Structure 1
Amino acid sequence: MLAEPIPSSPDECEIVSTRVFKGSKELVFLAWANPDHLQNWWGPAGFTNTFHEFDFRPGGMWRFTMHGPEKGNYHNECEFIRIDAPFLIHWKRHSQPLFQVLVTFEEVTANTTRVIFKMLFDTQKECLKIKKFAVDKNEENFDKLEVELTRMASI
């Protein structure tokens, strides 16, 4: 079976966040691939998660509820499209707002990894609606990932 092609979209339909993290590519990938780690850091500052299903394989579903810091529970349903460990994770959201996510992991040094997180939208209009807040929220998400990676490295 051929792997799904790596998606792309015009720049005006993408939100891209990039950061270099301390940790090997394998360790950083594990923080995304293992639900015990992922639920500790996924989401903006103050958010927590309840994972209902995490079937980490192409065609597998990721269903979870994000709990806002003040109020609100946000149901999310995603389908994993392609996983190439420890290089790439691609998923598609089936809940609003609709977009695809492509995460790539690049070794910078033996103990540092560049993560490129792309949110891919069908239209520029859809992208602009989310971009207003997603850029800052993605940075908060990465801040929480750094804390989880420090915790994982000390185990």
Structure 2
Amino acid sequence: MKVIAEPGEPQIVIVKTFNASRQLLFRAYTEPDLIKRWLGPADLDLVVNQLDPRHGGRWRWTHYDKAGKGYVFHGLYHGEPTPERIVQTYEFDQAPGTVYLNLITFDEADGVTTLTQRTLFFATEDRDLYVAGGMERGIRASMQQLEDLVTELKENP
């Protein structure tokens, strides 16, 4: 897996290859029961409060730590989500007004899918705060959990 955050650039690019179909990865991104099994660090519990994967649809979820403190994330889908790509805004309630855009693509060849997530920020400073907040730990944990999930789903559809 690659996590690319070039200095001075207001974006983060994540690239990971999965031995799974893009349809399976798309399901993992758009079905609430699957999202809560892979998204976020394992030491946080995830509740999917809302998920409407269609153009203009809203999504919202809350991560809870062991003390019960909630961390709320929310956004909108732009364009119709498909197994080829998802476009969505993303906002963290503890940083109101700092909105970023995620473009997630699923490129499949011979049963292997490369997931690329481009996260675009309005300002490099916003990106830098996101990185400083431990983003890479959560992304690495999530991508490993996603890999485990799609492997399990392939074996037990």
Aligned counterparts of 1:151 and 1:92: Cα–Cα separation in 2: 29
Aligned counterparts of 1:30 and 1:63: Cα–Cα separation in 2: 17
Q: 1:57 aligns with which of 54, 57, 69?
A: 54
Using structure 1 for the length normalisation, give the TM-score: 0.84
Give structure 2 stretches of 5+ with no counterpart: 1-7
> Which residue of structure 1 lines up, in the alignment, with residue 153 of structure 2?
152
- 1:127 is aligned to 2:124: no
CA deviation after TM superposition for structure 1 residue 20, in Å: 0.1
Letter in structure 1 aligned against 2:150: L
Aligned 8 A contact 1:15 1:119 in 2: yes
Identity over the aligned pairs, expressed in percent?
24
Using structure 2 for the length normalisation, give the TM-score: 0.83
> Which residue of structure 2 lines up, in the alignment, with residue 110 of structure 1?
110
1:52–1:147 distance in 2 versus 1, CA, 3 Å: same
Q: CA RMSD in A?
A: 1.9
1:13–1:146 distance in 2 versus 1, CA, 3 Å: same
- 1:78 is aligned to 2:78: no
> Which residue of structure 1 lines up, in the alignment, with residue 4 of structure 2?
none
Q: 2:11 aligns with which of 14, 33, 40?
A: 14
- 1:44 is aligned to 2:45: no
CA deviation after TM superposition for structure 1 residue 69, in Å: 4.5
Number of aligned residues? 145
Secondary structure class of the residue paired with 2:118: strand
Aligned counterparts of 2:151 and 2:66: Cα–Cα separation in 1: 23
